[in-house]
Structure 1
Amino acid sequence: MWLATAIDPTLRVRLTGRIVTLIKAHGYSAEELDRFRHFQRLSYEILDSTAQNLRVGNSETEATRMLRKAFHLAGAHNYFHVPVALFGERSAYPGEFGAFEALPTERVLKEGDTFILDAAPIFDGYTVDTSCAYNFSDDDVFRKLDEELPTLRRLIKDRIDEGGTFQKIAWEVDDYIRERGYENCHKKHIGAVLGHMVTKADTDRLASWSYKGLAVKQVSWFLTRSRLARGKRRNMTPNWNHTNACKDVAPYGLWAVEPHLASGNVGVKFEEILIIDEDGARWLDDDLPHHRRWNNFTGNRLTP
């Protein structure tokens, strides 16, 4: 049963007699989806190459500096959120992990550490948000956690196709994680999000405005819609979480989905774009670095 809604979250203004789309949030053409796919792959390539170049003794601050430099060279000069590196126990969001504790610290990478790299660069107005967990040692806890992620990926897509609400799906993912004895870390994300909307912005002069690396236009749009959703306009929410703002059926658009679970000092996640439209739900790409890793340890092709 397919019940997603086509609520129009696009921001348009009239300038000198013509309509200008400042933020586009659904109704993308095949060409636009190809651009999102290209930029998502590019972002993952940068995460992956940075991960391969990290060495024991590098700090989170150094890792995010490497990411910023690589994104800048690739043409991304501002972000929906700045690059993040989480080393060792910080990959598991330990304890009462605050909303801004994910910002980089001087914690250094140690032998055998799991670590997470996460970035939301904006390329030519297209926002992508990507994240991946890494461990280059033979760590059984990391492997067991990582093996849960493709199952969660399938579950999330299937529940959208069955007409599930964002709230119901978020709670089912939470149940899945806790029933296996793991901790749900994405409930500690800003907004407690399992996912959030990503958009395409008009590349006008406003596109270059940023504050400490954050894109003013995209972030302002997101915060405004989040505030509206906390009132009576639930269908305005750009967040996907377990709250009552997500009780309605899934809105059309592109959603960066990021299940994050942990056991002890080891945390894993992925983050990639899910398309929701009149045809149902489908992942933007099925050939990303973490997919290939999953295929290697399962011996099976990833089921889209």
Structure 2
Amino acid sequence: MVGRLLSHVDHWPGWSRITPPLARVPSPEELRGFAAAQHLAVRCAQETEKQLRTGITERELAAWMRKWLASQGVEHYFHRPFVWFGPRTQFRHFTSRLDLRATSQTLAENDVYIFDFAPVLNGYACDFSYAGQWGTVPGYASARSVLDRLYRDIPQWVSSLGYRADRLWQRVHEELSAHSLSGVHETSAYSFLGHRVHHVASSPLARALARRGAQTLLEFVARGASGQTLSRHHEGNMTGLWAIEPHLGFDGHAIKFEELLLVTPTGATWLRDAAA
């Protein structure tokens, strides 16, 4: 399968001439760069949440996010801000990548929202996602408790499961099934349980694409050939930095988080904890 082949991309003959090996622990300098990008993303999510109001559209909020990030020095993106409200959070009836983009969908009372954005700061990419409820949404509290447990348990699962992404995928699937939740990352072609992140400046091709705003092509290069998506078929070395993004569906809505996970030969930890 293609997924299994890509999970061993670091071992392909001559591949190191195209992009640096990704199955490696980033240097302390690189980790500081990634941590700064994630810190900026956290601030952006906090400020974006303050802009929420009944009737605001996804498109208006995504435009506000781009403007705020530009004011903080962001010029390039791994992908531009996505905003999803209500039933769109479940990606139902999404038939092309264009469906991920913000629309005229408005935020209603007792609704769920998700921000998903990936700024590049000083060459360091960070993919970050945040979900919440506007009002009170039936089923949200129980789904949120499962999502919070995933955040707590995933680092330990990575090491206990032998640093195998396919086993992590299965363990997350079992957790969701035990609580009658669906995994949007399992059913949607536009979502994964995770993917590697990278220093854009380390790849001449990626840097050139970012300068030209070719986010879609950059994402293909980064997630596909050289990035390695975390899927049920990934059998390669998990060492390195991953954006982990479990996406839980419930009662017509969905919530997710996305944060950077540092995997070393001796364990795994969320970058915000490693950088603390």
TM tier, shorter chain?
0.7 to 0.9
The 1-side partners of 2:15 and 2:81 are apart by 26
Alignment of structure 1 residues 83-162 onto 2, 5 Å: 83-94=81-92, 96-100=93-97, 101-162=99-160
Q: Report the equivalent of 1:223.
A: 224
> Partner amino acid for 2:178?
E
Deviation at 1:118, TM superposition (A): 0.4
The 2-side partners of 1:276 and 1:49 are apart by 29
Contact 2:90 2:253 in 1 (8 A): yes
Q: Once the two structures are superposed, what CA deviation does each residue of 1:263-282 show, in whole Å capped at 9, x if it has no partner?
A: 11221110000001223211
Structure 2 stretches lacking a partner, 5+ long: 1-7
> Partner amino acid for 1:170?
W
> Partner amino acid for 1:282?
T
Q: Report the equivalent of 1:239.
A: 229
The 1-side partners of 2:232 and 2:135 are apart by 35
Q: Report the equivalent of 1:170.
A: 169
> Partner amino acid for 2:196?
M
Residue 33 of structure 2, aligned match among 32, 35, 50:
35
Q: Report the equivalent of 2:4.
A: none
Q: Once the two structures are superposed, what CA deviation does each residue of 1:239-262 show, in whole Å capped at 9, x if it has no partner?
A: 10112xx134x4211000000102
> Partner amino acid for 1:247?
E
Over aligned residue pairs, what C-alpha RMSD do you find? Answer: 3.0
Contact 1:132 1:269 in 2 (8 A): yes
Contact 2:130 2:257 in 1 (8 A): yes
Residue 255 of structure 1, aligned match among 242, 253, 258:
242
SS of the residue 1:135 aligns to:
strand
Aligned length: 262
> Partner amino acid for 1:108?
T
Q: Report the equivalent of 1:209.
A: 211
> Partner amino acid for 1:182?
L
Q: Once the two structures are superposed, what CA deviation does each residue of 1:138-181 show, in whole Å capped at 9, x if it has no partner?
A: 33522211111121123321221121411121122112112211
SS of the residue 2:32 aligns to:
helix
SS of the residue 2:46 aligns to:
helix
Deviation at 1:189, TM superposition (A): 4.3
The 1-side partners of 2:185 and 2:224 are apart by 19
Alignment of structure 1 residues 22-61 onto 2, 5 Å: 25=22, 26-61=24-59
**Larger helix proportion, structure 1 or 2?**
2
Q: Report the equivalent of 2:186.
A: 187
Contact 1:127 1:199 in 2 (8 A): yes
% identity of equivalent residues: 26
The 1-side partners of 2:144 and 2:194 are apart by 18
SS of the residue 1:169 aligns to:
helix
Q: Once the two structures are superposed, what CA deviation does each residue of 1:88-145 show, in whole Å capped at 9, x if it has no partner?
A: 1111223x44352222111111112110000011111100000010113233522211
SS of the residue 1:85 aligns to:
strand
Deviation at 1:22, TM superposition (A): 6.3
The 2-side partners of 1:134 and 1:267 are apart by 10
Q: Once the two structures are superposed, what CA deviation does each residue of 1:40-95 show, in whole Å capped at 9, x if it has no partner?
A: 0111211221121121111111111111111111111221122100101111223x
Contact 1:209 1:216 in 2 (8 A): no
Q: Once the two structures are superposed, what CA deviation does each residue of 1:185-209 show, in whole Å capped at 9, x if it has no partner?
A: 1124446510000001227772752
> Partner amino acid for 1:254?
L
The 1-side partners of 2:191 and 2:219 are apart by 19
- The TM-score normalised by the length of structure 2 is 0.83
SS of the residue 1:172 aligns to:
helix
